[in-house]
Amino acid sequence: MSKYVMVIDQRRCIGCMACIVACKAENDVPEEHFRTRVIQEVEGEFPKLRMELRSELCNHCDNPPCVYNCPTGASYKDKENGMVLLKKNRCVGCKACIASCPYDARYIDPRHGYADKCTFCSHRVAKGKEPACVQTCIGRSRIFGDIEDPESEVSLLLREHHHEVLKPAAGTEPNVYYINRILKG
């Protein structure tokens, strides 16, 4: 059994958006929709400013409201690898998952009518490759791996660094971790 997580080293992100374009090419994401984004936030007053670049994507939550609220069982949590995935043929496009996700991680694919979101590039991971965004990440800011493996880079990073998740109060128990965070979440 594995449990895949992503660690985002915010110090290393340069806001280049390579990850976004690579993700879209890999996963045939429709125009004007995104599975991942990079948010730039600036706090303070000239000239005392601080900037944060924050990659966001589906958190593959351990306590996923999108799964609980899916009436058809299309959205599910994969027990083998911890990924939150979707059986497209079961999805009726009711948007219950979209409404219940606190992270705005999902969209309806207008070409097919089903819900879609980041899959951690499960098709790549199955073949032993990193997700597309991680592969192309110019800053090596996105790091992917198995948290069950104590020797993996993600395990190492999470042991060595203070880390946070987004919206912990939502109780979703995310699996995307942020290190070297600059602004208060």
Partner 1 sequence: MPISRRDFLKYTSMAAAGTAVSLSDAELFSHLFAISPEPHEDVNYIPTYCEVCFWNCGAVAAVVNGKVKKLEGNPYDPRSRGKLCARGNAGVGELYDEDRLKHPMIRTGERGDGKYREASWDEALNYAAEKMTKIKNEYGPESVAFMMHGGITTHLMNLGKAFGSPNFGFPSYGQCRAARMVAYDLTYGADVGSPERVDMANSRVIVFFGTHLGENMHNSQVQDFTEALGSRAKIIVVDPRFSTAAGKADHWLPIRPGADMALMLAWINIIISEGLYDREYVDKYTAGFDELKESVKEYTPEWASKETDLPADIIVETARELGRYAPSVCVHPGRFTAWHGNDTQRERCIAILGAILGTWGREGGIYLPTKAPLAGAAGMSYPVPSRASIAKGPHAFAQPQLMQAVRRTTITADPYPIKAWVVAGTNILRAVPNPAKSIEAIMKLDLLIAIDIRPLDTAMMADVILPECTYLERHDALKIDRGVSLSVGIRQPVVEPLYKSKAGWWICKELGNRLGVGGYFPYETYEDHIKKECAAMNIDYDELTRVGTKFYPGTDNPYITNENQPVFKTPSGKIELYSSRLAEQGFAPIPKYNRIEQPEKGWFRLLSGRSPVHSFSRTANNQKLFELFEENVLWINAKVAFSMGIRDGQNIILVNQDNIMSEIIKAKVTQRIRNDCVYMVHGFGAKSRLLSRAYGRGADDSRLMTRFIADPISGSTGMRVNFVRIEKA
String marking each residue 66-105 x if it binds partner 1 according to CB under 8 A:
----------------------------------------
60 binds, among ligand SF4, partner 1, none (CB under 5 to 8 A by kind): ligand SF4
Distance CA 131, CA 145 (A): 10
| In the chain, alpha helices (H) | 18-27, 65-68, 96-100, 122-126, 132-136, 153-160
142 binds, among ligand SF4, partner 1, none (CB under 5 to 8 A by kind): ligand SF4
Task: Examine residue 47 and say whether the peptide bond preceding it is cis (omega within 30 degrees of 0).
Answer: yes
Distance CA 140, CA 126 (A): 21
Provide DSSP, 54-72: EEE-----SS-HHHHT-SS
127 binds, among partner 1, ligand SF4, none (CB under 5 to 8 A by kind): partner 1
- For residue 117, what is the DSSP state? -
- Contact residue for ligand SF4 among 27, 59, 81, 119 (CB under 6 A): 59
- Contact residue for ligand SF4 among 27, 81, 119, 141 (CB under 6 A): 141
Which residues within the stretch 146-175 sit at the binding site for ligand SF4 (CB under 6 A)?
172
Q: Rule CB under 6 A: which residues touch ligand SF4?
A: 13-19, 38, 55, 58-61, 64-66, 84, 101, 103, 105-106, 117, 137-139, 141-142, 172
